[in-house]
Structure 1
């Protein structure tokens, strides 16, 4: 495949990891030159070429993506996952979470990803208190035409302090403040009962998933409920679950609304819907593991994120991130 285009001067260092599934070649061919032309200085891009079984390399190779950072005297400003899929959970017992978390907090680098990669983000939060960012991965920049909302939210999300996010739609009347945390529901429920799921009390929990029928979504929520996770939260925010593509095979009326109603019943806390995040093109970028506050009034709820690191994106060429033909 062609080498990435040369970045502009004063570019942001962007270190790439491939800790989960194989990154499709077409996504690599589009994303790498697009990011480089926009002003990112790409590091560890060769890791995206790996393939072993269904993974982006052996466990040892995928571990090395993160452990290699420990040898760097100065960390890159941004560390981004290649894609999701499956595989990050296999790495948790061998990851040097203590050193990685300490360096992440010291450097104030931004660790960015979602989906399967949130297993690593949650483990770092659980073991070290290190926060990260729920946001796009390399694959999101590898579409024919990246989503304009997602690109603008990415730049704003990593560069704007005390950023706000308004979620439209009729919502429960409530307000509060806590640690904003969460991620992919399948991953969170799989981590329940392990030392890698954060024990957050009074938190603002966000959840998303893809490819699951309503009853499976509810079963995973019930697992978190029985593990005592849901009742500890101050509020729950639901992102995208691709429910428009899934109908219960036994009862077509048992839909996402029924799941939300059950979640409200068992959790006893405000549950908000419509968070623009998940396996969708038009996703936002949010701090994970940092304080936030929310205020719901009538037809919307507003989130404000607090006390998280940011980077200077003035050198980034936003139109280049949305270019249809970056090569």
Structure 2
């Protein structure tokens, strides 16, 4: 920006009129000088007096015209500019009247119409934003009320793995004291590797459009641990799409604590393995009848120890029907498990 551009409009107009005065006076002095050369030195006093009066008249008229121009043109334009800027940047009300810039033709009415349209558009935008915010707040409250009623932990995250929403059950399962805090990284409460792998698979499934025919769609089972490694979690990761369903916008995680269930399964397998080993040893070192008696006693012991075993699918108490050695024909057969994975 040049030095002249930093000056205000009124100062620049004044300099314009001052230039007119200087240029007119210079032209007049040049004309009088050439006249003096033709007439002679005897006319010098008359030419000086005439030139001085002419320069004074030019300066007076120029100053008077500049004053009228400043009052009726420059000042109204400056006022209109300030009013428009305050309206655009600060939303201040208009101070323009019909008398402001009445010599500017249609400029003042046009500016007033534009300002009124801007105020109306801004009010309409503010009302729409307020309505959308209220609607989003109501939807969020309904979603939170639904999440609070779920028995599983639920986390809603964005693509940056930042937590946007969660329920109270998630705090209990993750053993987080107090509030988790929105915007917190998901990987600060759970292990990262299983989720990264699941999200990579879901993203590739979406990019290749295989999710339309895949039985799981845009969800993937995941097993992970808490950040401290004390608890094991099992759940599903589901990819969320944008409104046009053209790109992922985030993902949801539903999970539950399976630490106790895994411990019970490990204990059950350990007891069964121990019972099998004891039965095999008895069959190898005892007679047929003794082996049958010992086998029956082992079954009773396993029956007593497995009274606290529960089915991982339905939660019902499980019971050992028979313990068989490899190659031995079972005396009974349990019903097949059709839904085994």
Choose between structure 1 and 2: higher strand proportion: 1
TM-score range for the pair, normalised by the shorter chain length: under 0.3
Give the structure, 1 or 2, with the largest relative contact order (CA under 8 Å, sep 6 or more).
1
TM-score, normalised on structure 2? 0.18
TM-score, normalised on structure 1? 0.18
Larger radius of gyration: 2
